Amino acid sequence: MADIESLLKETRTFKPDPQFSRSANWNKKTVAAYRKEGEKNPERFWARMAKENVSWFSPWKKVLDWKPPYAKWFVGAKTNVSYNCLDRHLEGENAWRRNKAAIIWEGEPGDSRVITYAELHREVCRFANVLKSKGVTRKDRVILYMPMIPEAAIAMLACTRIGAAHSIVFGGFSAEALRDRIVDADAKLVVTADGGYRKGEPFGLKAQVDAAVRRAPSVESVVVVQRTGQKVTMKRGRDCWYHEEMAAASPVCPPAKLDAEHPLFILYTSGTTGKPKGILHTTGGYLTHVATTTRAIFDLKETDVYWCTADVGWITGHSYVVYGPLACGATTLMYEGVPTHPGPDRWWSLIAKWGVTILYTAPTAIRTFIRLGDDLPKAHDLSSLRLLGSVGEPINPEAWIWYHEVIGGKRCPIVDTWWQTETGGIMISSLPGSVATKPGSATFPLPGIDAAILDEEGNEVKPSSGGLLALRKPWPGMLRGIWGDKARFKEVYWSKWKNTYFPGDGAQRDRQGYFWIMGRIDDVMNISGHRIGTMEVESALVSHRDVAEAAVVGRPDEITGTAVVAFVTPRGGVKPGAPFIKTLKGHVTKEIGAIARPADIRFTNALPKTRSGKIMRRLLRDIASGREVAGDTSTLEDFSVLASLKESDEN
């Protein structure tokens, strides 16, 4: 059943600042016109965006070829992502950007680099020539297994320059996980580093590559960036040093003229079981989507210093650290390390140091900083910030308010964005300066996006009712398939309703039409016949002043069907125990009703999260139910968290 009940009531509204609205890239009038065009003729709208935001070598013959579930966008057109991110900023009226900072990079130990657009262009051309010297062509796949260093972005752009599809594997993955992705992609070359820095210590990468490649016969070459200086083993005839190859490479490499549907990258998402899904994105449609959304949602200006805190190993890093910002000619900040090293105020010091104007981060990071206290950000000058963003999962209203007040100084609009690896770019988000925002709501689908909330039969649910989020029309940034598995592509995403994409999330739409994402449908609990999303119970818990973070799951119960189990991280100085448990149960009852009152509350210093910051609720479900933890744990950030949770007693 898809009728999810919405218990969370949020009435606070924040109107756009008139001054911000007047200077916004997409003002109210523009947004209204685009919405009208997007509803009436989405193909014409996206063609307009493609012309405004992307440079093409040759035009398309047809905007969209839609044979469900397969789409081709800008059929017959040719372009190049690297050209759009680099060359066009060095030519004609944009030539002044040659000396503009493209990438500001800060390493965890405190080393830094500022790379201009002209310098980045030269480095990308050199590495594109290195790839060609190793026999890489537009028919090949290249694996990138790297720390968060500029060479990762350079390698991405070099692949796009010659038309080789890249697949980035996050640097925290094991050798086995790396091997699985190399084999599935049938990759010809791996780009890696000797290692990187995390929490003040160097970690290794090359040894994992060696172990993975031993059982991946398709790999012919391994290129190694020297980052930490740690000793590594280099295999003669296969391995080479990045800096040595770059020194010998020409800085001239014309961009390949690629078909709009040419493969751009494969990004693997892991499931609970089975092999990871290789999500395939292509060139022209993806670039149109991310360039358009970057300019509109983040209201990018030439003077902005934009910081998306994601790693390039995740889709957010692809779309909104590298491709979107660089396509818009922006200055993008990359940071190598964790938020709390060498001190818990590292992020705030970086904002003050580099004059960051736009911050785009995840709710889990925001909640971590809430727990650390207000004094840390208040000790730094954050006055340069003018816009904040949230990504990765629904943000609970109290975290939204803290973000707005403490980090944004009550002056910065917040763009709460919903999208996925599969969608390529942002699908639902507020547009700053054009719409009032509500804490916890992603507001409305973007122009050209047909999102709806449906029941199991595919009918739209009534306002203020919960249901299943659906996308009823194709969009340019959409995935083009699962690499090498057409049957799985159809079954996972297109089998629930005819010609309609099911992202796997629950949602509700209030009476003003605002969308409220309720999280994964797998996380919905059936309690005494009522279907309740975990996000709303978590939001109720976190709204208590002494709670920093909470995760809620259901466990089997003979009477109610499912009992609510809450894992709670108290704020610093708060003593957990029976009195606090009683207080929290009463608080949830008061906030959203007795039906959602937790049966168990367990206190923990940390929650099991992926390396991109998402809470792994399926692991908590196993723990709450007394089962052995099962399924894929390769994305888990800290395995010691699992051990401590297993040892904790039920309250």
Residue 557's pLDDT is what? 75
pLDDT bracket for residue 633 (50, 70, 90): low
Is the bond preceding residue 18 a cis peptide, omega within 30 degrees? no
Residue 588's pLDDT is what? 87
d(CA 360, CA 377): 16
pLDDT (mean) for 424-435: 96
In the chain, % of residues over pLDDT 70 = 92
Which of the residue ranges 2-16, 189-203, 451-465, 595-609 would you say has the lowest mean pLDDT? Answer: 2-16
Residue 94: name the closest of 333, 300, 327 by CA: 327
Residue 651's pLDDT is what? 41
Strand, helix or coil for residue 1: coil
Residue 640's pLDDT is what? 66
Would you say residue 476 has pLDDT above 90? yes
Q: Are 569 and 603 spatial neighbours (Cβ–Cβ below 8 Å)?
A: yes
pLDDT tens digits along 33-91: 999 999 999 999 999 999 999 999 999 999 999 999 999 999 999 999 999 999 999 99
CATH class, domain 1-80+282-309+318-523, is: alpha beta
* Domain range list for the chain: 1-80+282-309+318-523, 528-647
Residue 637's pLDDT is what? 61
pLDDT bracket for residue 286 (50, 70, 90): very high
Tell me phi and psi for residue 623, to 5 degrees: -65, -45
Which of the residue ranges 187-201, 246-260, 505-519 would you say has the lowest mean pLDDT? Answer: 505-519
If one compares 207 and 572, the residue with the highest pLDDT of the two is 207
Residue 394's pLDDT is what? 86
Residue 272's pLDDT is what? 43
pTM to 2 decimal places = 0.86
Would you say residue 22 has pLDDT above 50? yes
Residue 467: name the closest of 8, 7, 1, 2 by CA: 2
Kindly give the pairing relationship between strand 258-259 and strand 78-79: antiparallel
pLDDT tens digits along 569-613: 898 778 888 889 999 999 988 877 777 889 899 998 888 877 666
In the chain, % of residues over pLDDT 90 = 73
- Work out the mean pLDDT of the chain and round it to a whole number: 91
pLDDT tens digits along 357-401: 999 999 889 988 998 999 999 999 999 999 999 998 889 898 999
pLDDT tens digits along 512-539: 999 999 877 766 666 755 667 777 788 8
Burial class (CB in 10 A: 0-12, 13-18, 19+), 571: middle
pLDDT (mean) for 347-364: 96
pLDDT (mean) for 211-219: 97
Q: In what helix (H) or strand (E) does residue 540 lie, and over which residues does it extend?
A: helix 534-542
Q: Are 550 and 538 spatial neighbours (Cβ–Cβ below 8 Å)?
A: yes
pLDDT bracket for residue 276 (50, 70, 90): confident
d(CA 412, CA 17): 9
- Return the CATH superfamily for domain 528-647: ANL, C-terminal domain (3.30.300.30)
pLDDT bracket for residue 634 (50, 70, 90): low
Residue 174's pLDDT is what? 83
pLDDT tens digits along 153-169: 999 999 999 999 999 99
Residues 116-153, buried b or exposed e (16+ Cβ, 10 A)?
Answer: bbbbbbbbbbbbbbbbbebebeeebbbbbbbbbbbbbb
Residue 273's pLDDT is what? 45
d(CA 515, CA 463): 10
Q: How far is CA 157 from the centre of its chain?
A: 19
